[in-house]
Amino acid sequence: MQDTQDRPPVSPEQERRVLVAGTVGSVVEWYDFGLYGAASALVIGPLFFSGDLSPAAATMASFATFAIGFFARPLGGLLIANFGDRLGRKPALVFTLVLMGGSTFLMGCLPTYEQIGLWAPALLVMLRLLQGAGAGAELAGTMTMISETIRPSRLGFGTAMPNAATAIGSALGIVAFLVVALLPGDVLLTWGWRVPFWLSAVILAVAYFIRHRVEETPEFVDARRRVDEADHRKVPMWELFREHRGAVLLGFGAMVGHQAMSYITTTFALTYIRDDLGMPQTLALSASLTASVVGALLGVGGGILTDRLGATRVFTLGASYCLLMSFPLFLLLGTTVPGLIVLALVATYSVSFGLMAGAQGLYLVGLFPAEVRFSGVATCRELAGTLIGGPAPLIAAALVAAAGGAPWLCALFLAACCAVSVACLLLGRGYSARRNASHVVGDRADTRAETA
């Protein structure tokens, strides 16, 4: 990242616009994904797959469609991020917004398996792939844009805001399903499930209006000018893998624990609480909603803490805490006491999310120079999402089934993922300071924290 003393000045109004635009965009992304996560746990199975399947098989098929969206994220993220590194952050982020929101709205218009047979899951998978492609670049681009605009003293807070907003988006998706789940009779499975998907069009319209008014980041404009003056254009994606492979591996590893934790505690937990523990569906949704709201607040706090202690230290603290909570999470859930079920998700998801999401934005943007930053952040996040986050509910369900309903293999899987993150963060403590000191504002904070 360009030295902050040389960065072109930015008005407070532009800072506010970028923060608001990034936050609202993240709400759209995670409303879409949180909504689909809740739908895959509760209605996708019976609506989009044959009634001949057992409930367990239908749930597995539903989680498979959830995972499929993640396989589109790295490709979509790389292509859109490559475009964003060449032509600008703003046009790339406007495109991701429309792609995500439009796909989600169309999901609510799909006919079911009962109406058109196998075409129903086929069309659902196609829209899920488009949704995933757009989401693959959204958060990476938002964190990049904010990091290149906001003043240095607020970098941790600024890059944490879109991550905190992901919890708000997830909470909105859960609220939408909670409301329609309370409707009488079979309304949820007839038409009620469509309404939350249609509401994405309203959120999309508001987000598009806000994002369209944002200016391009001064640091990107300056980087483009230097490239043009040198008359030496490079392909960002190729440059990333040729010159920054170590940074990509460290960033990917750092994200593994966060991805596993997020989808085990927000998506798989809904089905586990309802089906394996025999608790009401509304309790599962309410517990997840509470955890998401608390997580959003703690995510902002994690960003403020990052400005004081450094991204690496706070990120490592979050991954270590999640590792320690892997088994207590399922112990608390297994009590089947409603209050302790809520506590389990808040103590595990909310606190872990607050620390890791609060620090990861500044940590990831600090690994890459401006010329490949969008591509680098997108690659780290989306590879982890594809290989770990997307399959996590499916893996968790399979591990619980293999253990005869016991959750301990699932807890071990979560702990192992967090251990990978801790190891990569510890290995990378000196890496960013040595390799990226010339272009990383965030390393200034990390170096201070590491030597304290």
Q: What are 414-424's pLDDT values in tens digits?
A: 999 999 999 99
217 or 270: which leads in pLDDT: 270
SS3 annotation, the chain:
CCCCCCCCCCCHHHHHHHHHHHHHHHHHHHHHHHHHHHHHHHCHHHHHCCCCCCHHHHHHHHHHHHHHHHHHHHHHHHHHHHHHHHHCHHHHHHHHHHHHHHHHHHHCCCCCHHHHCCHHHHHHHHHHHHHHHHHHHHHHHHHHHHHCCCCHHHHHHHHHHHHHHHHHHHHHHHHHHHHHHCCCCCHHHHHHCHHHHHHHHHHHHHHHHHHHCCCCCHHHHHHHHHHHHHCCCCCHHHHHHHHCHHHHHHHHHHHHHHHHHHHHHHHHHHHHHHHHCCCCHHHHHHHHHHHHHHHHHHHHHHHHHHHHHCHHHHHHHHHHHHHHHHHHHHHHHCCCCHHHHHHHHHHHHHHHHHHHHHHHHHHHHCCCCHHHHHHHHHHHHHHHHHHHHCCHHHHHHHHHHHCCCCCHHHHHHHHHHHHHHHHHHHHCHHHHHHHHCCCCHHHHHHHHHHHC
Domain parsing of the chain, residue ranges: 12-451
Q: Given this model, what pLDDT does residue 147 score?
A: 86
Q: Given this model, what pLDDT does residue 266 score?
A: 83
Share of residues in the chain with pLDDT > 90 (%):
36
In angstroms, rounded to a whole number, what is the distance separating the alpha carbons of residues 181 and 174? 10
Enumerate residues 6+ apart whose C-beta is below 8 A from 444: 152
Confidence grade of residue 31 (pLDDT, cut at 50, 70, 90): confident
In angstroms, rounded to a whole number, what is the distance separating the alpha carbons of residues 371 and 376? 10
Q: What are 368-422's pLDDT values in tens digits?
A: 888 888 889 999 998 898 899 888 988 999 999 999 989 999 999 999 999 999 9
Q: What are 126-167's pLDDT values in tens digits?
A: 999 998 888 888 888 888 888 888 888 788 888 888 888 887
Q: What are 221-254's pLDDT values in tens digits?
A: 777 777 666 555 567 778 888 888 889 999 999 9
What value does the mean pLDDT take over residues 188-196? 88
Q: Rounded mean pLDDT of the chain?
A: 84
From the candidate CATH numbers 3.40.50.300, 3.40.1050.10, 1.20.1250.20, 1.20.1280.260, the one assigned to the domain spanning 12-451: 1.20.1250.20
Question: Is a pLDDT exceeding 50 seen at residue 5?
Answer: no
Residues written for the chain: 452
Q: Given this model, what pLDDT does residue 3 score?
A: 46
Question: Is a pLDDT exceeding 80 seen at residue 56?
Answer: no
